[in-house]
Homo-oligomer: A and B are copies of this chain.
Amino acid sequence: MINTLFLPELREMLATNNEQEMREFCSALHPARTAEFMEGLGNEESWEVLEHADVETRVEIFSYFDADKQHELLTTQNIDQVAELVAEIAPDDRVDILQNFEPELLANLLERLPTDERRDFLRLSQYPEGTAGAVMTSEFAKLSETLTINEALNEIGRQSEEYETIYYLYIVDAEDHLRGLVSARQLLAGMKQPNTQLHEIMETDLVSANVMEDQEDVANKVARMDLLAIPVVDDEHRMLGIVTHDDIIDVVREEATEDAHRIAAVDPLDDTYLKTSIITLSWKRGMWLAILFFFALLTAMVMLEYEKTLERWVWLVLFIPLVISSGGNSGSQSATLIITALSRGHITLADWIRVVLRELSMGLLLGSGLALMGFFASLLLVPNGEGINWLAMCVVPITLLFVTISGTLTGSILPLAFERLGWDPAMMSNPFVAGIIDILGILIYVNVALFILT
């Protein structure tokens, strides 16, 4: 929804070229809100308004536009002005934005960037999506351990605009090896001893992330340690950048949404629901529906094998949806519990025996409960010739017990197996769980029926 509250005023300012009011508009509110109010403007108009903000505010407002608007603005406006803006964008955001540029335009733009920013872009853009390197920023405060508290305070006071955060200051040696951390809190608390050197107060037992580490693992570390930022290092422990708390929140949200979509057999979206085209969405859903269709077809073929049985006891057919859905539901419960526990770091592969035993017990418990309900359902639906046919009454309950146990076991073992193979458990498990359980369910059902009734 576009906020149109200020649109008329903004358009009037533009028409009358009221510079003072436009400057005020750009600086009075939180940049996020300014960006919100500008959403309804066209590209030319937005660009004109932005020009009235000082560079720093301009970049901040710009960073709150949605990705589409950012892309449109940067690709349609004067390239020299664009380069000026791009040079000031936070390095990690800059990589995200420029990655969608056409190669030719990107080359033109890079030429116009200051050398430092160009190199920085080329370096950061080399890390694959999903790694610590791809979400880190290179604008962090690094200091030498021989600096005093007073010198450090002056240094960060002077440079504060250049860093993503000045609340964590990293201590490195001459070769950029990470040695320690001093927080702004420590500096402020230590103002009374201005000549203390940083190595006397720095923390040395640091948690860091390798530049190629999975962003989900990095987020788990930050969450566990309640960090404001985590340093990112290479294999030689040289410091390359930091990932800050706000990026971690984005990572956590992104990974959680991806997991939820994968569990429901939707290939993760690159964009929000409304911004993804219907064709893309249909493709991301259709490919999985096709795989699931194939499993269902296998189920149908299995049933074809047992057509005689089903024709002889037609009442068996009534319970097919019940049998299949009981197995499918208990399986998807197990799979989801295991997948979320794996991704939050609550269980590891080493726990597999415990997990499988737990799921076996739960399959027994839940299966017994469903079996009891299935018995009463049989009393209701199984046709009785002369008096109740007790044997026939037992087909559905026994099937439900076995099917539920198969569900919990398949739902727990498959995600663990995929994790073991290095595949994303969320991506592969649930459709497979559903497919396997459909087939298993029918096989169990018909064989239990044949065993009991003949």
Give me the interface of A with B, judged by CB distance under 8 Å. Answer: 1, 28-30, 32-33, 153-154, 156-157, 160-161, 166-167, 184-185, 188-192, 203, 205-207, 219, 222-228, 245-246, 248-250, 252-253, 256-257, 259-261, 263-266, 272-274, 278-279, 281-282, 285-286, 288-290, 292-293, 295-297, 299-301, 303-304, 307, 310-311, 314, 317-322, 324-326, 328-330, 332-333, 335-341, 344, 346-348, 350-351, 354-355, 358, 361-362, 365-366, 369-370, 373-374, 377, 380-381, 434, 438, 442
A297 x B377 contact (CB < 8 A): yes
3 nearest A-B residue pairs (beta carbon) = A256-B256, A264-B336, A226-B246
Residue in B249, B259, B381, B434 whose CB lies within 8 Å of A249: B249
Residue in B300, B314, B351 whose CB lies within 8 Å of A310: B314
Residue in B253, B272, B442 whose CB lies within 8 Å of A256: B253
A252 x B260 contact (CB < 8 A): no
Q: Which residues of B contact A259 (CB under 8 A)?
A: 256, 260
How many identical chains are in the complex?
Answer: 2
The closest CB in chain B to the CB of A228 belongs to B245
A296 x B282 contact (CB < 8 A): no
Show 18 residue pairs from A and B whose CB-CB distance is below 8 angstroms, ordered by the A residue. Answer: A1-B351, A33-B205, A153-B188, A156-B188, A157-B189, A157-B191, A219-B249, A223-B253, A256-B256, A260-B263, A260-B340, A264-B333, A264-B337, A273-B341, A281-B337, A286-B369, A300-B381, A303-B321
B321 x A442 contact (CB < 8 A): yes
A424 to chain B, nearest CB (A): 14
Q: Which residues of B contact A339 (CB under 8 A)?
A: 260
B160 x A329 contact (CB < 8 A): no
The closest CB in chain B to the CB of A191 belongs to B157
Residue in B226, B307, B350, B374 whose CB lies within 8 Å of A1: B350
Residue in B160, B190, B317 whose CB lies within 8 Å of A320: B317
- In angstroms, Cα B320 to Cα A304, docked, is 12
The closest CB in chain B to the CB of A301 belongs to B381
- In angstroms, Cα B244 to Cα A452, docked, is 62
Residue in B265, B311, B373 whose CB lies within 8 Å of A293: B373
Residue in B219, B341, B381 whose CB lies within 8 Å of A304: B381
Residue in B249, B265, B325 whose CB lies within 8 Å of A333: B265
Q: Which residues of B contact A191 (CB under 8 A)?
A: 153-154, 157
